[in-house]
Amino acid sequence: MLSTLTINSAPALATALRSMDERFSAPPGQSLGRGEMLVPMYRISNPAVPLSVAQEAEAVAYLISNVADRLRRLGAAYGEWDAFDAPAYFDLSIAQTEQLVKLTERVNTVHVTFFIDLLLPAFQQAVTWWAQEFLPAYQQRYEQPALAPDFFQRIQPAMVEHRQHLAQVMQQTRTLLSNDFGFLATNGAQEERERWRRWWSNSPAPALDPRLLPELSRTPTFTLSFDFPLPAYRQPDRLRRLRRNRDRQRWRQGRG
């Protein structure tokens, strides 16, 4: 059985659009989509009061600055935990942390990724339309040809509008962050695009509007990532490496 691929960034959405693969799905649960359960720091808007592109961009830029600062401070805070509690540190529930944060301990570093795109109302709307309307209608037009006109006249144009609206929000947000050191230091866009590159070796699905098929290199994302040293006492085989270095130093001193 093939595993499900969660659409958790704009490059992931672009890949889902290009491939129209059933394995892609919207993020599980409704807490991120509605925002009621998120602490104020992560709430960009109230669904009952839609924001303009400029308003959403300003709110997103403010959110990114705050998350980037928290990521950069994590390097100093990480060693204070015997077992790092990501939900507590980021003020998220366990379910929200599973969707938004990915943390990996390596040999001597820690790599953390925060999927900011998931919090954008424009992104949530685009992913929801893709999963609930666009993908089913795309498949049904082959099985039920009578449904094809609705797909081409209503559903696909709406998908294009969602995609363009998201692009506008991201473009204006990026302009606001052009001199933000915190964002520039934690910008994980290239890393996130590379995560999906293998899917772009094949031709796109047929009958798609060209506006739904941007180049991967031109697909923006506000995915953030940050690396910092793993505290020495947490590094595997640390004592063995220390002994080996000590023995090498003794050997060199003996030869000298």
pLDDT of residue 3: 77
Please name the helix (run of DSSP H) or strand (run of DSSP E) that holds residue 114, with its range, or none: strand 109-114
pLDDT of residue 24: 95
Instruction: Provide the 3-class DSSP secondary structure of residue 211.
Output: helix
pLDDT of residue 142: 81
Please name the helix (run of DSSP H) or strand (run of DSSP E) that holds residue 112, with its range, or none: strand 109-114
pLDDT of residue 83: 86
The whole-angstrom distance between residue 68's C-alpha and the CA centroid of its chain comes to 13
Q: Vertex 181, ends 78 and 163: CA angle to 5°?
A: 95
pLDDT of residue 230: 85
pLDDT of residue 14: 98
Give a three-class secondary structure readout of 134-199.
HHHHHHHHHHCHHHHHHHHHHHHHHHHHHHHHHHHHHHHHHHHCCCCHHHHHHECHHHHHHHHHHH
* Residue that has been written with the tokens 């050997």 in this structure: 251
Tens-binned pLDDT, residue by residue, of the chain (256 aa): 457 899 999 999 999 999 999 999 998 755 455 555 889 999 997 666 788 999 999 999 999 999 999 999 998 899 888 888 999 999 999 999 999 999 998 878 899 999 999 999 999 999 999 999 999 999 998 888 888 899 999 999 999 999 999 999 999 999 999 999 999 999 999 999 999 999 999 999 999 999 999 999 999 999 999 999 887 665 555 555 556 666 666 656 666 5
Q: Cβ of 201: how many Cβ atoms within 10 Å?
A: 6
Supply 44's token pair. 């960009």
CA distances 208 to 119, 165, 205, 212, 256, Å, are: 27, 18, 7, 7, 72
pLDDT of residue 141: 85
pTM higher than 0.85: yes
